Structure 1
């Protein structure tokens, strides 16, 4: 074999080797790229599974927490009944406040006597040409039940008690208005007094509002000297009104001592929350109406006298 032939063969072998190396390089690159892609895909698949598991766990915990939450509760009202409104005052007390009224009063209308009631008495002591003494007395009772949406019975009663005091203070035509606290009567009590000038004479109005647990007692008492008789002393009238209100509050407590207390642990006396439905919301609104009628009745009675 000639030297030229050998050189040409060696060159062909070198070109063949280079061609084979060039062919292997793209394949290596493709494989190198494919490995990270597979790893990335595997990583994504792993992350996705982990996230789904976390979300499922959170959802399960949330559901368990919701099912474990307790239902709303409110402390029960202390008193579940009211006394007969025309029997909250003794004969002796009525004899002092409304001496000519007799033994029975006029009971107000109520569609739920366990939630609200009222009774009124009027007295006219006619002394002929010397004039006469007029007295009018009204006792209203309103009981509140506890309600999970509105609050505890004693708290609802406190709100109504406050409103009753404000209403008494805002009486139209009131003169010489005076407000004072009353001790020893329920959990809280307030007395409001004022004069009302009318063509028949000067009427001395006394209002005592008291709250005992979830019951509000409102006592209205007024007196006047008519046809020339002397005007009664406001201090004497207020003293009698205070004693009568205390007696009415005691009647509420006595009516519930035996079997009238609601189930559960009632709040006790002055330790009850001051910021305190006997009625439901409709009951309170209805009593507002009854109370307004009572006050209107007072004015109408005094005018006739």
Structure 2
């Protein structure tokens, strides 16, 4: 009774088992057809993509060419001829200092500067004590200012010329000046002017000499004043002017030799920010200030001993 039932169950299981391979074969047979269809679609898509990419590239190339036509050339400006400055307290020889500041050869005091490659100054003070006859006072200052070329502001030479003009004007319009006289100086740099005037103080009469020189992109300003104090005779303006001109020529020669007697001076692009000196910069001491400081330097007898 139980055996037929078992066989019947087996036959059913067998039937189910035999049907599954047929379905699997049918599924496998359909796979190549799907693969072929996928390959075909992929080929078509690739060709379309290629044509689209080529169109994009062509458009980009056309756009690039158009942009190239509108780009302007990089701005250029004449490069600054001089690239450095000498030590300000070393621009004059010992012999020259003995002539101008006989008791102050070693009194050179360098002015403060945040960039010694673009600006510098040095001053000397001398007081010759002649006893009951009084004293001879001298004060000397040399200022150096170098300008860089920039695309936005112009060449270093142009900037130096503008500063040179302002220095001359400042000397000619000094407060309290009398008998002001200006004249060109030959043989000093590219352009030079000497300005002299008298300045009356309660301690005595001071004679001021200011010589301004531009050499390439550097401006050299030399201030020199003298006075006879406590009964001493006032020094000759002509003698002071002659000494000042001689000294400034020596300082200018030092600037040139420091840069190898010239510089590049060739056009070059200048796109970087400039570290040039401002055209509004002023020397470490003005002529009027120097004259006003003179009495304090000569008031004490001990000052003459130190010098």
Give the TM-score of the pair, scaled to structure 1: 0.71
183 and 255 in structure 1: CA distance in 2 versus 1, 3 angstrom threshold: same
1:236-268 deviation per Cα after TM superposition (whole angstroms, max 9, x unaligned) = 00000000010000000011108xx665538xx
Q: Does 1:124 align with 2:95?
A: no
Query: Residue 279 of structure 1 corresponds to which residue in structure 2?
Result: 276
Q: How big is the shift at 1:298?
A: 1.3
Number of residue equivalences: 230
State the Cα deviation string for residues 98-149 of structure 1 (Å, max 9, x = none): 0000334000000100000000001000011111100000000000000000
- Tell me if the contact between 1:161 and 1:211 (Cα under 8 Å) persists in the aligned partners: yes
Moved more, 99-108 or 222-231: 99-108
Match of 1:217 among 210, 216, 220: 220
Distance 1:252 1:233 in 2: 29
Which blocks of at least 5 consecutive residues in structure 2 are unaligned? 1-61, 268-273, 299-307
Task: For 2:265 and 2:97, locate their aligned partners in 1 and report how far apart those are by CA, in whole Å.
Answer: 36
Counterpart contact for 1:221–1:241, Cα < 8 Å? yes
Match for residue 175 of structure 1 among 166, 174, 178? 178
- In structure 1, what is the Cα distance between the partners aligned to 2:200 and 2:157? 37
Q: Determine the C-alpha separation between the residues in 2 that align with 1:174 and 1:295.
A: 10
Query: Contact 1:110–1:117 at 8 Å: present in 2 too?
Result: yes
1:79 is aligned, of 77, 82, 85, to 82
Matches of 2:101 and 2:213 in 1, distance apart?
21
Residues 264/219 of structure 1: CA separation in 2 closer, same or farther (3 Å cut): closer
Q: Deviations over 1:171-213 (max 9, x none)?
A: 0000000000000000000000000000011100000000000
Question: Which residue in the other structure is 1:157 paired with?
Answer: 160
**CA distance in 1: counterparts of 2:85 and 2:228, whole angstroms:** 34
Q: Which residue of 2 aligns with 1:265?
A: 266
Distance 2:162 2:275 in 1: 13
Q: Distance in 2 between matches of 1:216 and 1:225?
A: 30
Q: 1:114 aligns with which of 112, 117, 138?
A: 117
Mapping of 1:191-230 within 5 angstroms?
A: 191-230=194-233
Match of 1:301 among 293, 299, 303: 293
2:69 is aligned, of 65, 72, 92, to 65
Cα separation, 2, equivalents of 1:278 and 1:174: 36
Distance 2:70 2:201 in 1: 65
Separation of aligned partners in 2, 1:240 and 1:111: 31
Render the CA deviation track for 1:222-242: whole Å, top value 9, x for unaligned: 000000110100000000000
Normalised to the residue count of structure 2, the TM-score between the two structures is: 0.70
| 8 Å Cα contact 2:178-2:199 kept in structure 1 | yes
CA contact (8 A) 1:91 1:103 kept: no
- Taking the aligned partners of 2:275 and 2:237, their CA distance within structure 1 comes to 34
What is the rounded CA distance, in whole Å, between the counterparts of 2:66 and 2:208 in structure 1?
62
Distance in 2, Cα, partners of 1:135 & 1:231: 11
Aligned to 1:4: none
Consecutive unaligned residues of structure 1, counting only runs of 5 or more, are 1-57, 267-276
Does the CA contact (< 8 Å) of 2:111 and 2:284 recur in 1?
Answer: no
